[in-house]
Homo-oligomer: A and B are copies of this chain.
Amino acid sequence: MNSSLSRDSQVKIMEGTVNNAEKYLGQFCLLLASYTRKNARLRDKVDLLIKQIMDFANTENPEMRRCLKDFGEEMSKIQDYRQAEVERLDAKVIGPLKEYGRLTKSKRGDIKKFNSVRNREMKELENLQKLKQRNPSDRQGISLAEANVQKASVDVNHTTHQLEEIIFKFQQQKLKDIKAIFSNFVTVEMIFHSKALEMYTNAFQHLNNFDEEKDMAAFRSKICISEFENDARPSQSHSSSSLQPSPGSQLRTPPRVLHAHFQEDESDDEEEEEDEVEELQDLSDDGYQQYAKIRK
């Protein structure tokens, strides 16, 4: 029975190899798909932020407007790279990992086939034992049973060779694939991070170029009419017209209450989390609650 024991161990190792591949590569697939999806949501969230930055830019004076729009455009480019990251992760990481579902299923089939061949050998061995016990003088029957055992053993040997070959190749391919898939992952991430770094460098420059003095001069000319009033209160039609908000300005539209944007924000993001909805309700009571949940 040593042969059976060692073969038991051998098959268990093979089964373990296939089962662990199925389990862990399945987990990698699941978690990396979730990681990719969360990145897509980050992108959506920043897209919403950019939209608000652009809208806000339109309410500001030319200097700040330009600064915010340049900043927003760099942010937007980063989201394009994030989108490329999401697509590449899907094609070069999730796709190949998904293949392992099909692959491990097929290998399990091979092991099952082997087990049935081996069970036949065990059965033939049992038959032989029984025959020897019950009818030790039946030479012909015993010979036949021994021949059957021999045949089944040959089958098992043959199938063992085949299975070893199959599992060996499977493991070889698995090692190559794991290396390739994680290398793909790292490469995709590196491209994204280096591009993001480049765009953020530009974004920082745009913020740095902002001329506050110039912007404040424009603002002063808009809101400070008191000098005119003191000097020439009777005739003010010119200053009155200069106070009209510029076209595209949203100064005259009644500001929507915060709660309204939150609802809009939410309908835009169909995958918003439940807890976020609760937070938004809190926000309607106090627009500036603590809503950044971070690690304890």
Contacts and interface: CB of A to CB of B under 8 A. Distances in A.
Nearest to A205: B186
A226 B158 CA distance: 9
Contact of A194 (B176, B197, B224, B274): B197
The count of identical subunits is 2
A252 B49 contact: no
Given A31-B52, A276-B34, A20 B255 contact: yes
A20 to B, nearest CB: 5
Nearest to A260: B23
A220 B3 contact: no
Nearest to A269: B34
Nearest to A2: B236
Contact of A223 (B10, B86, B229): B10
Contact of A30 (B2, B14, B291): B291
Contacts of A220: 168
Give the bracket for the number of chain A residues in contact with chain B: 35 or more
Interface of A is mostly: helix
Nearest to A187: B204
A212 B295 contact: no
B2 A235 contact: yes
A134 interface: no
Contacts of A237: 2
Interface in A203-251: 203-204, 207-208, 210, 212, 215-216, 219-220, 222-226, 229-230, 233, 235-237, 239-240, 243-245, 249-251
